[in-house]
Amino acid sequence: MSRVGRKPISIPSQVKISLQDGELTVVGPKGKLLQKLPDMDNVNISIVGSEIIITRNSENRKIRAVHGLTRSLVANMVTGVTQGFTKTLRIAGLGYKAQFENGTLTLQLNYSHPVVYKVPEGINIAIERAETVQNQPEIPLIISGIDKHLVGFVASVIRDFQKPEPYKGKGIKYLGEYIKRKSGKTAAG
């Protein structure tokens, strides 16, 4: 069996789970998630007591992969409706600003115009007070929601607006991401 797929998923007491026609619904204190699960002919989901057990019918390589994927999707749904997910970005650069109002994120990133991004439903963005790191202000941008895929997608879209550059370190990067710095040109003597 798949090492990931064979682990049972414990269901907290406040979570309700239902499976109909290959679509899994998970309802918890933070919200409700729906997921169309892949290849339900070869992967079986059963609820035994307070655990979800996922099994497969074949040892085919693709079915083994789908087995682990299904278990990960279900576990992420249960975690999402109970705890939620967060990603933190850091906006670094002199004159860079961020503002979040009414589901719209507005970024000033040294372009001639502000970058405006309509945040999808179910995602919340918190902007914390700027800190100074290496003589450069950094603004923490915390993206949170119950859908792990959507939180990661929104974080990657925002990061793509201004990827970090290696000379001065300006741009948008993930918290903890290491940017290999380069030295600038020097005068020939």
Q: Indicate the pairing of strand 16-20 with strand 23-28.
A: antiparallel
Most confident residue range from 108-112, 113-117, 169-173: 113-117
pLDDT band at 1 (very low <50, low <70, confident <90, very high): very low
Prediction pTM value: 0.87
Question: For the segment 117-168, what is each residue's pLDDT rounded down to a tens digit?
Answer: 999 999 999 998 878 777 778 889 999 999 999 999 999 999 999 999 888 8
Distance CA 75, CA 3 (A): 14
Distance CA 57, CA 21 (A): 18
Asked whether the predicted pLDDT for residue 55 surpasses 80, the reply is yes
Asked whether the predicted pLDDT for residue 2 surpasses 70, the reply is no
Distance CA 70, CA 4 (A): 10
* Domains of the chain and any CATH numbers: 9-82 (3.90.930.12), 85-174 (3.90.930.12)
Question: For the segment 60-98, what is each residue's pLDDT rounded down to a tens digit?
Answer: 888 888 888 899 999 999 999 999 999 999 998 888 899
Per the structure block, which two tokens stand in for 22?
């290959």
Q: What share of the chain is helix, strand, coil (3-state, %, to 5)?
A: 20, 40, 40
pLDDT band at 58 (very low <50, low <70, confident <90, very high): confident
Residue 81 class from Cβ within 10 Å (0-12 exposed, 13-18 middle, 19+ buried)? Answer: buried
